[in-house]
Amino acid sequence: MGNFSTDPYRTLNIYPESLNFYTFLVGGVIGSIICLVGIIFNTTSILVFARMEVQSGTSFLLICLAVNDNAMLLCQFIMYNIPSLYPYTGWFESYFHSIQGYYKYVWGLNFIPGTIVIYLAVFVTLERHNVVCSDHLDAGPQQAPSKWYLPVFALVVLGTIFNLPKFLDTDFQGHRLCGDPNASTTVYCFMVPTMKQSPSWRLYQILYRFALYVIFLLFVPVSVVVILNVKILRRLRERSSAFSNARRNGRASAVRNLNQNELTKIVVIIVALMSLTQFFTSVAQFMHTFTEPTEANPYTFPLLSDVVMLNSAVNFFIYGLFGSKFREHLKEMVCFCRVRSTCWRNSNPRPATNGERNVNVGMRIQSVTIDNRAFSGD
């Protein structure tokens, strides 16, 4: 890592040794658990949606959402969570030192799926709006997945182009020395230092890092999903009485409407959590742009990282909590091997032992005796 006094990217402040434990606990342990659990359950969600008999635009977009969430979680786990274990424990020492030289080249990778996820939430909200706000009682015609192929592809391309400058906008990003140079314990901070100190770079930082981020990744998507969700909730309230009458009359459409309402609630909750997370990240962008990065990053970055990753990891639990159809397909998938094993045992019963045959014969004799007594009236 280099000597503290000669490190051009060292912090100007001196932080206590306890920062290593904070980074280990919040960034290393808690962050790793969130990422690993999120990857496992997002993958499970993808499998569940893929098993559904009728594929809709919503299920396709939710699969895309889970894929991009996994990409974010994997990048964060490799780039930040694993190295955060080293300063306090000494684990993964060679990995910690070797990855520092690659941070600035892969800095933009984590932002690409992050941008795509935000607008996928807009797409899925728009799809739910088209379904729920249809004039038909039976929850409107759903768009086929194929209708979303081109918009999703265009979103991937535009999201990549939008984040290309992030591959070049920092001289260094990673863990730097930030403790007392005379202390026996080395203290590390995860930093995203300000770029080259020139007027043009400063203007770039204000316009791109903050202004464009707030406009295109906060104001525009959040405004759209809020407007659409207000219309969706208003429409659901208007149709609630019609749904109740349909259920009382035993209409088959009532079940379909119930599933559609559950799916709509899931989408509303997901986009609400996304909007809240974007607000926190916008505050962090403001701090990184208009305050000295070394003042805030060592303590706020691990916490903010966990909040963002948690937003990418909780969708499975939202599906399971509010989606009865999702729970049904999940049970079928989990019990698939058990059902196959049971069917195999039923089709290939093992021969009964002598003891079991004697017991079975005795039970049949006792059953016949009881039946005869009942028939004779005893």
φ, ψ for residue 247, nearest 5 deg = -70, -40
pLDDT exceeds 50 at position 96: yes
- CATH entry, 4-328, from 1.10.15.40, 1.10.3720.10, 1.20.1070.10, 3.40.50.300: 1.20.1070.10
More confident site: 2 or 173:
173
Residue type, position 154, single letter: A
Residue 154: the pLDDT is 96
Q: Which two tokens stand for residue 304?
A: 């903010």
pLDDT exceeds 50 at position 282: yes
Phi-psi region of 143 (alpha: psi -120 to 50; beta: other; left: phi over 0): beta
Q: What is the mean predicted confidence (pLDDT) over 337-351?
A: 52
Q: Which two tokens stand for residue 226?
A: 């809020």
The CA dihedral of 145, 150, 154, 155, to the nearest 10 degrees, is -10
What long-range pairs does 103-107 form, CB within 8 A, spacing at least 24?
103/79, 103/172, 103/173, 103/174, 104/170, 104/171, 104/172, 104/173, 104/174, 105/167, 106/75, 106/79, 107/166, 107/167, 107/169, 107/170, 107/173
Residue 251: the pLDDT is 52
pLDDT exceeds 80 at position 38: yes
The answer to whether the beta carbons of residues 163 and 106 sit under 8 Å apart is no
What 3 state SS string does the chain have? CCCHHHCCCCCCCCCCCHHHHHHHHHHHHHHHHHHHHHHHHHHHHHHHHHHCCCCCHHHHHHHHHHHHHHHHHHHHHHHHHCHHHHHHHCCCHHHHHHHHHHHHHHCCCCHHHHHHHHHHHHHHHHHHHHHHCCCCCCCCCCCCHHHHHHHHHHHHHHHHHHHHHHHCCCCCCEEEECCCCCCCCCCEEEECCCCCCCHHHHHHHHHHHHHHHHHHHHHHHHHHHHHHHHHHHHHHHHHHHHHHHHHHCCCCHHHHHHHHHHHHHHHHHHHHHHHHHHHHHHHHHHHHHHCCHHHHHHHHHHHHHHHHHHHHHCHHHHHHHHCHHHHHHHHHHHCHHHHHHHHHHHHCCCCCCHHHHHHHHHHHHHHHHHHHHHHHCC
The pTM (predicted TM-score) of the whole model is 0.77
Dist CA 163 CA 113 (whole Å): 10
Residue 140: the pLDDT is 46
pLDDT exceeds 50 at position 335: yes
Please report which confidence band the pLDDT of residue 374 belongs to, taking 50, 70 and 90 as the band edges.
very low
- Of the listed ranges 124-128, 229-233, 257-261, 328-332, the least confidently predicted one is 257-261
Please report which confidence band the pLDDT of residue 43 belongs to, taking 50, 70 and 90 as the band edges.
very high
pLDDT exceeds 90 at position 318: no
Report which listed range, 121-135, 196-210, 253-267, is most confident.
121-135
Report which listed range, 78-92, 239-253, 277-291, 357-371, is most confident.
78-92
Dist CA 17 CA 19 (whole Å): 5
User: Mind listing the pLDDT tens digit for each residue in 179-220?
Assistant: 777 777 888 888 765 555 566 777 877 888 788 888 898 889
Q: Hey, where are the domains in the chain?
A: 4-328, 341-373
What does the mean pLDDT of the chain come to?
A: 76
Dist CA 250 CA 243 (whole Å): 11
Residue 1: the pLDDT is 41
Q: What is the mean predicted confidence (pLDDT) over 272-278?
A: 81
Please report which confidence band the pLDDT of residue 138 belongs to, taking 50, 70 and 90 as the band edges.
very low
Residue 116: the pLDDT is 93
